[in-house]
Structures are given as structure tokens and as C-alpha cells.
């Protein structure tokens, strides 16, 4: 983090407080576990405020040598696969214990823990770059490297003001993200309320094979991408990742060779329902609805488009959410095959045999209208969340350059 625009002194992270290592109490000693002291691990360090964990230990474990750190302690992951793409940081809001994959800093008297944690999170990309490989894909942060990070140290009152400003901004950001999650959950819960769980068909709908509503699964072509991504080509072919995460992502694409002219059936259109025939075990059969798309996106051979037997007899939004349910995912998993690693593939023939509940089309359309309204709301909330995230990032950068204090009258 550039501190050139402030008059604040810089101190190495190693000198910002007492460093404490974590550990795991013996699993063989029952008296050490199921107590009331949170035991934080890398998997439970997923929020900024650390007050609880799935695993808890007893005072006996602490007396036996397990480190217990006080409220205000800064904690961060130094070993784990998460270091490949994120740096998890948090602040203890009560006394907690932690495992050996974490390090803790009990801040010095002139260091505010929340200020320090915000600074470390703001330096995330640089810190991720320090991680090296340990074993089996696990990443490790060398103590000497992260300890050398320079931390701007303004007066403690300024630190606390900065932390308070960033805390408020982070709260707004979390609320935006929660709103997105609630919108998505409402779509799924409304589906179950209207149609029941497909696993049990509690509503008693007709159970018919996919082939009763789907005429065919229309695929694209495997195209050797142009080596030059900046080449002036009118078309781009989608990657499988364009549908993997339940949202259509047209930017997940690659250029085709100059001069290639695709057949019209390979061009993705608004209103398409796309399906991934090949993916990892958990993601085979990922399905997305195309609300909108650039006009030059093409289907690859690993993505299919649903072609309906009768567009008046089915609502694509119903089928879309149906294919996202656990029941249908299980059926897809049963029929998928694979010969190497965790990649799986499902054939058209096997897909067509999956039994699905087919409610009256009027009820499907009612759900489809609701789904479209939810999509509009979700789009608005995502745009708001993106804007909030951008503002938060800007606020963080300004905070550690000393610019917030100047605007606040200091």
C-alpha cells in the first residue's frame, strides 16, 4: 500500500503486536472438546467479526496449552487452499482459540485491531502474491514475508476513526450482498411452494420424461480459438464457465479464427435455456436462462440449447429452476459418466429419460412471470452491489492514503 501521500510513520507488520501461533487440542481427549470457547479454523474464518465457530473447546484445552487470544486480536490464514485466490482476515470480538493454519496478532497499545485488519484486507492482492506452494495444492504464507509488510501508523484516534468509517461502509456492502442472496433464495422457495419437491412430487403432478417437453438438445461446435484475443473477429465461442455458476456470463468466451462463419443454429439467442453436458461431477448439467446476450456468442460442443416440442406447453423458467433443484441434479449425476478425474459427461439419450413433474402450463407461466420479475430485481441489486463494492474499494484506498481524514477536517 502506497503511503507516500501521508505523513504517517510506517511500521513492519511483525512489530505491530504480539504474534501468536495456533494449534489443535488432542482429538483423543474428549474433555478438550464441545466446550464454549470458539476454535477458529480457516474454514470458519469467513467473516470480519469472529465470535463463533462450529468447533468449540473447553478451558481444559486452554490449560493444556492451546493458545487463547483476547478480544481485538487480528487473525488471518497462513496455510490453506483459500490462499490461491483470497486472504481471509478477521478480528476476534471475544476471546477465541484457533488452529495452526492461522496466525494471530495481539495489537500493540498504539495499534487498533480493526484498523490493522482493514489494512491487511486492503493489501490482499499483494499478500496473496507472497503465498507459495506447500503440498497437495495447499498454499502457505511465509511468516518472514508477511511480517515485512509495511503498515501506515497514524495516531490511535485516527486509526479508530478510519476503522469506524470502513466498518460502516462494509456493513452497507454486506447488506447489498445479503439482498442478492435473499432474492435468489426467494426464487427457489417460491418454486418449492408452488410445485413441491420434485424428489417426492408431493403435489401429484404428471411424471413424464424430459423428452415429453424437449424435442432435442441442440449443440454447437468445438472451435480452435484464435491465439490473438484482440483479433478483429465478429464471433466469440462460449466457454463452459459461461453457464457453470447458474448465471449466464457471455464474457466467458474466446475468439474464433478470422473468417469463420457459424451456422445460425450455433448462435446464442435471448430466451435460450442452455445446459452444460460436460463438467465436474458437481456441475454437470448446469443450466442457465439467457435473459440477454451479445449477438455474436456461439455454442461450443459442450453446451446445449433446449429445443421445445411445443412452446405453448412449457415455460422455460419452470424448467430452468427445476433443473437447479437437488432432485434433478441427483438424477443427472446418476446418468453422467466419466473416465478420468472428476470430469463427467451426460448423453442426450440419458438426459431425455429423466422423469420430471409437468404441472399445468398456466401454473408454469405464473411462476415464469414471477421469475422474470425476480431477475429484474436481482439485476438492480447486483448493479447496486457492484457500485457499492467499487465505492468501498475507493474508500479503502483513500483511507490508507490519509485522504479521509483531510475531508473530515483533520
Give pLDDT tens digits for 148-164: 999 999 999 999 999 99
Q: How far apart are CA 195 and CA 206, in angstroms?
A: 12
Supply φ then ψ for residue 26, to 5 degrees.
-60, 130
What's CA 175's distance to the chain center, in Å? Answer: 16
Alpha helices in 295-360 (DSSP H): 316-322, 326-335, 348-352
Q: What does CATH list as the number for 206-358?
A: 3.90.220.20
- The model's pLDDT over 254-278, given as tens digits with 9 standing for 90+, comes to 888 888 889 999 999 999 999 999 8
Does the domain at 10-153 match CATH 3.90.220.20? Answer given as: yes
Q: Using CA atoms, how far apart are residues 363 and 376, in angstroms rounded to an integer?
A: 20
Q: What is the pTM of this model?
A: 0.64
Q: Is 348 exposed, middle or buried (0-12, 13-18, 19+ CB in 10 A)?
A: middle
pLDDT band with cut points at 50, 70 and 90 for residue 61: very high
* pLDDT surpassing 70 at residue 368: yes
Q: How confident is the model at residue 3 (pLDDT cuts 50, 70, 90)?
A: very low
Give residue 119's pLDDT: 93
Q: What is the pLDDT of residues 168-204, one digit of tens each?
A: 888 887 788 787 778 788 999 999 999 999 999 999 9
Query: Tell me, what's the pLDDT at 228?
Result: 61
Amino acid at each position: 500500500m502506497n503511503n507516500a501521500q501521508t505523513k504517517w510513520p510506517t511500521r513492519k507488520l511483525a512489530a505491530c503486536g504480539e504474534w501468536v501461533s495456533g494449534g489443535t487440542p488432542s482429538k483423543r481427549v474428549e474433555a478438550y472438546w464441545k466446550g464454549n470457547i470458539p476454535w477458529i479454523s480457516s474454514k470458519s474464518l469467513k467473516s470480519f467479526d469472529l465470535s463463533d465457530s462450529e468447533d468449540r473447546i473447553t478451558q481444559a484445552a486452554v490449560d493444556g496449552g492451546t493458545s487463547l487470544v483476547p478480544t481485538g486480536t487480528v487473525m488471518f490464514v497462513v496455510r490453506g487452499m483459500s490462499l490461491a485466490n483470497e486472504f481471509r482476515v478477521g478480528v476476534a470480538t471475544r476471546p477465541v482459540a484457533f488452529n495452526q493454519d492461522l496466525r494471530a496478532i495481539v495489537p500493540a497499545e498504539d495499534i487498533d485491531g480493526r484498523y490493522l485488519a482493514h489494512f491487511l484486507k486492503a493489501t490482499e492482492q499483494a499478500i496473496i502474491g507472497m503465498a507459495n506452494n506447500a503440498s497437495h495444492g495447499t498454499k502457505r504464507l511465509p511468516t518472514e514475508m508477511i511480517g515485512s509488510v509495511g503498515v501506515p501508523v497514524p495516531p490511535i484516534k485516527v486509526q479508530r476513526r478510519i476503522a469506524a468509517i470502513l466498518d460502516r461502509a462494509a456493513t452497507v456492502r454486506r447488506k447489498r450482498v445479503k439482498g442478492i442472496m435473499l432474492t435468489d433464495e426467494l426464487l427457489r422457495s417460491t418454486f418449492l411452494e408452488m410445485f413441491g419437491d420434485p424428489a417426492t412430487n408431493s403435489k401429484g403432478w404428471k411424471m413424464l420424461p424430459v423428452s415429453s417437453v424437449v424435442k432435442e438438445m441442440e449443440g454447437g461446435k468445438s472451435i480452435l480459438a484464435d491465439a490473438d484475443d484482440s483479433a478483429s473477429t465478429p464471433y466469440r465461442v462460449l466457454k463452459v464457465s459461461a453457464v457453470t455458476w447458474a448465471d449466464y456470463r457471455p464474457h466467458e468466451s474466446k475468439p474464433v479464427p478470422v473468417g469463420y462463419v457459424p451456422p445460425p443454429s450455433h448462435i446464442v439467442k435471448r430466451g435460450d435455456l442452455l445446459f452444460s453436458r460436460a463438467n465436474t461431477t458437481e456441475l454437470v448439467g448446469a443450466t442457465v436462462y439467457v435473459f440477454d446476450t451479445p449477438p455474436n456468442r456461439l455454442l461450443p460442443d459442450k453446451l446445449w440449447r433446449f429445443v421445445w416440442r411445443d412452446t405453448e406447453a412449457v415455460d422455460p423458467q419452470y424448467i430452468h429452476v427445476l433443473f437447479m433443484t437437488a432432485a434433478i441434479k441427483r438424477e443427472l449425476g446418476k446418468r453422467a459418466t466419466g473416465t478420468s478425474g472428476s470430469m463427467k459427461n451426460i448423453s442426450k439419450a440419458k438426459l431425455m429419460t429423466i422423469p420430471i413433474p409437468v404441472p399445468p402450463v398456466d401454473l408454469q407461466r405464473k411462476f415464469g412471470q414471477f421469475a422474470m420479475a425476480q431477475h429484474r430485481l436481482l439485476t438492480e441489486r447486483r448493479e447496486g452491489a457492484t457500485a457499492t463494492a467499487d465505492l468501498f474499494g475507493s474508500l479503502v484506498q483513500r483511507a490508507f492514503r490519509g485522504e479521509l481524514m483531510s475531508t473530515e477536517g483533520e
